[in-house]
């Protein structure tokens, strides 16, 4: 291990099976654009969602090509919308429970789960660690590192609400994937970027994904 590798402290990004893979893409692009290192965990269920929402098959053996194609795609499905350098990404298979992020001694800044399904929320809240995504989230909590959970489901039943309260009590930030309109959205990508930006706000990562509120009514229409 060289000196640069030993100093690497990534953000772990977990993608669960909930609808909303464009949210994950927005967060990943912004992290990489900010010069942050990223460790990526894509759950088995999320591969089905990604295929359904984008037509992209995410494969372990070809993850770099598949990730590059995914992050280049806009929220409207148009390919080649973004040019993204993925050299800062390390990929871990969701079934690899011996991976770096499964241990508290592995250096990481924190973890973002985007989107987070209700099954993922339950697994993390209950400490099930059934796959690397859930295990990495449990490690993040026990090490008192930032954990942001971007839950994407509606309506929410009482059981899920209790799980979200448990995560909040454990120190996680719960960020519902709820787009806002005051920022002057004119395209679906603007709404997706707003949610991605709020996820990064909760993690304390700087970005320029959306127009911030400045206390002036009508500011969002001043384009």
Q: Quick one: tokens of 72?
A: 């280049």
CA atoms within 13 A on the CB side of 194: 19
* 72/50 Cα distance (integer angstroms): 14
* Residue pLDDT, tens place only, 23-77: 999 999 999 999 999 999 999 999 999 999 999 999 999 999 999 999 999 999 9
- pLDDT at residue 1, as a whole number: 42
CB 132 within 8 A of CB 96: yes
pLDDT band at 3 (very low <50, low <70, confident <90, very high): very low
- pLDDT at residue 219, as a whole number: 66
* Residue pLDDT, tens place only, 160-208: 999 999 999 999 999 999 999 988 899 999 999 999 999 999 999 999 9
* Residue pLDDT, tens place only, 84-110: 999 999 999 999 999 999 999 999 999
223 pLDDT more than 60: no
220 pLDDT more than 70: no
Lowest-confidence pick of 56-60, 118-122, 217-221: 217-221
pLDDT band at 216 (very low <50, low <70, confident <90, very high): confident
What is the DSSP code string of the chain?
A: --HHHHT--PEEEEE-SSS-HHHHHHHHHHHHHTT--EEEEE-HHHHHHHHHHH-PPP-GGGHHHHHHHHHHS-TTS-TT------TTEEEEETT-TTSGGGSTTS--SEEEEEEE-HHHHHHHHHT---SHHHHHHHHHHHTT--EEEEE--SSPPHHHHHHHHHHHHTTPEE------STT---SHHHHHHHHHHHHHHHHT----SSPPP-S-TTGGG--
pTM given for the model: 0.94
């Amino acid at each position: 291990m060289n000196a640069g590798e030993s100093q690497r402290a990534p953000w772990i990004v977990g993608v669960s099976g909930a609808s909303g893979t464009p949210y994950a893409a927005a967060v990943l692009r912004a992290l990489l654009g900010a010069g942050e290192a990223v460790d990526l965990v894509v759950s088995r269920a999320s591969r089905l969602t990604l295929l359904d929402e984008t037509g992209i098959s995410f494969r372990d053996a070809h993850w770099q090509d598949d990730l590059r194609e995914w992050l280049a795609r806009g929220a409207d499905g148009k390919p080649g919308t973004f040019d993204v350098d993925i050299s800062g990404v390390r990929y871990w298979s969701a079934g690899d429970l011996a991976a770096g992020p499964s241990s508290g001694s592995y250096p990481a800044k924190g973890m973002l789960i985007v989107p987070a399904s209700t099954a993922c929320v339950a697994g993390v809240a209950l400490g099930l660690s059934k796959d690397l995504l859930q295990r990495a989230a449990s490690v993040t909590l026990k090490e008192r590192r930032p954990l942001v959970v971007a839950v994407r489901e509606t309506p929410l039943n009482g059981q899920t609400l209790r799980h979200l309260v448990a995560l909040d009590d454990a120190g996680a930030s719960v960020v519902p994937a709820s787009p806002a309109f005051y920022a002057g959205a004119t395209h679906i990508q603007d709404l997706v970027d707003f949610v991605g930006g709020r996820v990064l706000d909760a993690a304390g990562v700087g970005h320029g994904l959306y127009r911030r509120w400045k206390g002036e009514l009508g500011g969002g229409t001043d384009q």
